Amino acid sequence: MKWVEQFSHYSASSFRKDLISGCIVGIVAIPLGMAFAIASGVKPEYGLYTTIIAGILISLLGGSKFQIGGPTGAFIPILLGVVLQYGYENLLIAGFLAGIFLVLMGLLRLGSLIRFIPKPVTIGFTSGIAVIIFSGQISNFLGLQGVESHEYFFYNMKEIFMRISSLNLYSVLIAVICLAILLITPKISRKVPASLVGIVVTTLIATWLFPGKVTTIGSAYGTIPGGFPEFVPLDLSWDRIVTMIQPALIIAMLGSVESLLSAVVADEMTGTKHNSNRELIGQGIANMATPLFGGIPATGAIARTATNIKSGAVSPISGVIHGIVVLLIVVLFAPYASNIPLASMAPILMVVAWNMSEYRSFRHMLRTRTEDSLILVVTFLLTVFTTLTVAVQVGLALAVILFIKRMSGMLAVKKVLPDHSSTKGKVRPHVVTDKHDCNQIGIYNVEGNLFFGTTNTFEDFGQKLLTDPNLKVVLLRMGQVPFMDSTGESNFSKLIHHLKERGVVVIVSGIQAQPKKLLMQTGCYAKIGEDRFFEHTGEALNYALKNIQHNKCRGCNRFAFRECGQAPVQ
């Protein structure tokens, strides 16, 4: 159905646009695919295979019209950690399992839930990942020798300082030239892929002017094989599956967030709307297929998706063409890529890290000095100095705790009385004074959600009611209570029970649909009595006045209600 709708008006002109944009994005994706693979601790060709297979499948099966899939910088710390701890073969299993989790998330329609991850958490771990990527390329930028990769930031920095004496000036020169090209080329023409220009120019310089002086892809990883990706059988034994479930969940979580963020960016740029659940299914199938050919986990790539749109793409065909272009280049020219200096790849990843750092959003949120600032800083620091798993778990837990704290202060219970100066007889809290009140009737505005986070506030209110010996009727105005959970209902029911034990009549007005439905399900609605629920306060007040002890009204000069001093309401 998706393809029928998208291609109902497809034409030769549309194909030309897709062909041009697909070729441009394919060329842009080649150096990035290799760079992301190397930074993730695997051979560069695996990044190219990922670009080909995942790129084609995500475009064919995903829920975004313009999404470009492939390896991304966000995955680098996670994948490197998996490779260092479990090895490359287990990384393939983790990627395959992550694909299964993504498909299940899509089938269970969890796509919309991803958007509920708080922004301070996403900015915090994204900025932290950017720091890890940037710092991880310092050794290649400086041409350091004998540097070992570690899972943690501190040990990687220590390794760099220990090897600083092996600095290679030729590598620094190559890296500086490539960085300059990356910065200058977009100012001259944004249609020219700066990363490709940087790699070609610096590779030619290194090959012609000082051959053998810098570390290349070939000298570090061997020659990149040409031809089609070969099938790689996975050892899906139960022991390996159990071992890799946690890394797979992290990969799936980050992949879902990254892909849906990319799809949202595409929507904003084009005015379209993606299908988040279909996108997760497409991403899942792609990640299940990619490891079977040696590829690493993939997701939606925001920068390449934006490039695809800016290049004039009109359909998912551009994403398919992008994958085919990379395949053709791998088949025909892969061995030549072995001459690329690692120092040329370093500035490309450093620029990627800078662009994904969201430093403007980070700085803006930091300046607000709110609870969100605390979540941001904690998530960022934990991402850099521990692992993304720890950072996200702690960041989300902290966000939930602070949210509950914030919401708990938003429940307010105020005593009110009719304002006789108002022609409409509105009830207001300022009308209640020591000299203007009613001993027998208590009217209360309940404003805010009744849930587990507001337990203390509601319990304090209940204790005050239960200590009033003169109280005969309680009218709860609940028009401002949009939500009640089981904890809130339990506290509410306990209060009703204790008031009824003391002979106090409980009346409710203006209750909203969700709290009413919950009270009916638990039996609290029946306990109060259907005849004691009213739509409007005026009707509820008339009922309240019928249930007081009128003999106790004699001699009262507070005149809380217009009916005070008149004959008892019949």
List CB contacts of 368: < 8 A, sequence separation 6 or more.
none
383 inside domain: no
Give me the pLDDT at residue 327, please. 95
CA 384, 388, 392, 395: dihedral to nearest 10 degrees?
Answer: -20
Per DSSP bridges, beta strands 441-447 and 473-480 are parallel
Indicate if 347 and 490 belong to the same structural domain: no
Per-residue confidence (pLDDT) for residue 3, from 0 to 100: 52
- The larger pLDDT score, comparing residue 301 to residue 265, is at 301
Contact 176, 140 (CB under 8 A): no
Answer whether residue 540 is part of any domain. yes
Task: Give the mean model confidence (pLDDT) for residues 201-216.
Answer: 94
Q: pLDDT tens for residues 225-252? A: 888 889 999 999 999 999 999 999 999 9
For the stretch 476-509, pLDDT in tens is 999 999 999 999 999 999 999 999 999 999 999 9
Structure tokens belonging to residue 3: 């393809």
- CATH number of the domain bearing residue 542: 3.30.750.24
The one-character DSSP state at 502 is T
Q: 418 and 334, same structural domain?
A: no
Same domain as 167, residue 33: yes
Q: Please state the domain count of the chain.
A: 2
- pLDDT tens digits along 409-430: 788 899 888 877 766 667 888 7
Residues 315 and 213 grouped into a single domain: yes
pLDDT digits (tens, 9 = 90+) for 353-408: 998 888 899 999 999 888 999 999 999 999 999 888 888 889 989 998 888 888 77
Kindly state whether residue 391 falls inside one of the protein's structural domains: no
Res. 512: pLDDT tops 50:
yes
| Predicted pLDDT of residue 60 | 94
Residue 493, in any domain of the structure: yes
Please tell me whether residues 422 and 480 are part of one structural domain: yes
Considering the domain architecture, whether residues 246 and 327 belong to the same structural domain is answered as: yes
Give the rounded percent of residues in the chain with a pLDDT score beyond 90: 60
Given 330, 363, 396, which residue is the final one in a domain?
363
∠ CA 410-414-419, rounded to 5°: 130
The 3-state secondary structure of 167-227 reads CCHHHHHHHHHHHHHHHHHHHHCCCCCHHHHHHHHHHHHHHHHCCCCCCEHHHHHCCCCCC
The more confident residue out of 142 and 114 is 142
Is residue 307 predicted with pLDDT exceeding 60? Answer: yes
Residue 569 predicted with pLDDT over 90: no
Look over the chain and give the mean of its residue pLDDT values, rounded to a whole number: 89
Q: Give Cα separations from 466 to 119, 284, 414 (angstroms).
A: 43, 57, 16
Q: Residue 247 domain-assigned?
A: yes
Output the pLDDT for position 239: 94
Q: CA-to-CA distance for 398 and 392, rounded, in angstroms?
A: 10
pLDDT of res. 228: 86
Dihedrals φ, ψ of 508, to 5°?
A: -125, 135
Q: What is the pLDDT of residue 1?
A: 47
pLDDT at 409: 75
Of 142, 517, 113, nearest to 341 by C-alpha is 142
* pLDDT attached to residue 491: 93
| Residue 452, domain extent | 412-553
464 assigned to some structural domain: yes
Query: pLDDT-derived band of residue 6, with 50, 70 and 90 as boundaries?
Result: low
Q: Say which range, 31-45, 112-126, 460-474, has the weakest mean pLDDT.
A: 112-126
pLDDT tens for each residue of 166-189: 999 999 999 999 999 999 999 998
Three-state secondary-structure class, residue 143: coil
At residue 7 the predicted structure's pLDDT band, cuts being 50, 70 and 90, is low
Q: For residue 314, what pLDDT is reported?
A: 92
Asked if residue 164 has pLDDT above 90, the reply is yes
pLDDT at 570: 45
Of residues 407, 400, 360, 398, the one with CA closest to residue 377: 398
Decide if pLDDT at 127 tops 60.
Answer: yes
Question: Residue 370 falls within a domain, yes or no?
Answer: no
In a domain, 4, yes or no: no
